[in-house]
Structure 1
């Protein structure tokens, strides 16, 4: 995963976030990546980078959310980096394609948002996900297909998200800012 780590350092090193809070997180991610050669591997117990995708429909008016089976909440698509991922955008695109079942997705390779959250994932121990989030566009008429990684998969209007998704508001706001330019 050395190539993925080098890519993550480059992607985050070049990114110019729009807020002071996001800049502080960017600096923390860079410090973590420099301190931990295993920062992209899910086996890294203190935490590890993950990649997620804010999948928008062709009009940019709806977002695809998954009802996560373990978390029990509606979330954007995404997950752990794999050995086969050369870059963080590759990981986000792989996760978006696997979890949505949609082919022909187009990814903006510049991050849109960062989020660190505590979680007990596949390690079975409390850890943190250092999530790097990207905007992905679905082709016109795209129909998602529920996979084993989801209890449900549904398009939601950006201004009418389901209950208990308040933590997605900063991500959606950043996405709107990005897609408006």
Structure 2
């Protein structure tokens, strides 16, 4: 999986200078840390996520995250059974949304990231120090009219119109939804 993560980030053409700096930071992290994809890698590790959209209905599926208390895209930690970053993002999106048949946006049949986001979290527990998630974000397209099924990982799970995102929603999630909307229009 480490090789795939390096390939995915190396091959990805970024949108702007900020994303390019993050991409290079993520690659440096992976070069320095063979364990850089796993939750046990501290103080930072790679995570994978996907914003689930239904372009035919102009809507996005968000989860109210129990630890963060905000509406977020689906995502989380890479697991040993994941063979690629894209597979980790798709697994997380499918588990957390309950929707079968999600497809990640890609180029030439290969899923590609659309955005990177570095943020502080307390994923090791509330009594442990914060660490950094180096999130690699994808867009997952749901079948038209898909119905979501809440998982134990969510306080709430709902579809929202692109222009009617709930509060509190992180600005990085709003940017990701805008990008997904543009890419699937």
Which interval holds the TM-score relative to the shorter structure?
over 0.9
Q: Secondary structure at the match of 1:13?
A: helix
CA offsets, 1:39-58, max 9 Å, x none? Answer: 00100011110000110014
Q: Secondary structure at the match of 2:138?
A: strand
Name the structure 1 match of 2:108.
none
**Match for 2:144 among 140, 143, 156?**
140
**How far, CA to CA, are the matches of 1:134 and 1:89 in structure 2?**
8
TM-score normalised by the chain length of structure 2: 0.91
- Unmatched 5+ residue regions in structure 2? 106-110
**How far, CA to CA, are the matches of 1:20 and 1:144 in structure 2?**
36
Matched, 1:159 2:156: no
After superposition, residues 103-118 of structure 1 pair within 5 angstroms as 103-108=100-105, 109-118=111-120
Name the structure 2 match of 1:174.
179
- Unmatched 5+ residue regions in structure 1? none
TM-score normalised by the chain length of structure 1: 0.93
After superposition, residues 8-157 of structure 1 pair within 5 angstroms as 8-59=5-56, 61-108=58-105, 109-122=111-124, 124-157=128-161
CA RMSD between the two structures: 1.3
8 Å Cα contact 2:63-2:157 kept in structure 1 = yes
Deviation at 1:127, TM superposition (A): 0.5
Aligned length: 177
**How far, CA to CA, are the matches of 1:74 and 1:37 in structure 2?**
32
**How far, CA to CA, are the matches of 1:22 and 1:172 in structure 2?**
16
Deviation at 1:73, TM superposition (A): 0.9
CA offsets, 1:83-140, max 9 Å, x none? Answer: 0000000000000110001111111211010000000003533100000000101112
**How far, CA to CA, are the matches of 1:60 and 1:122 in structure 2?**
37
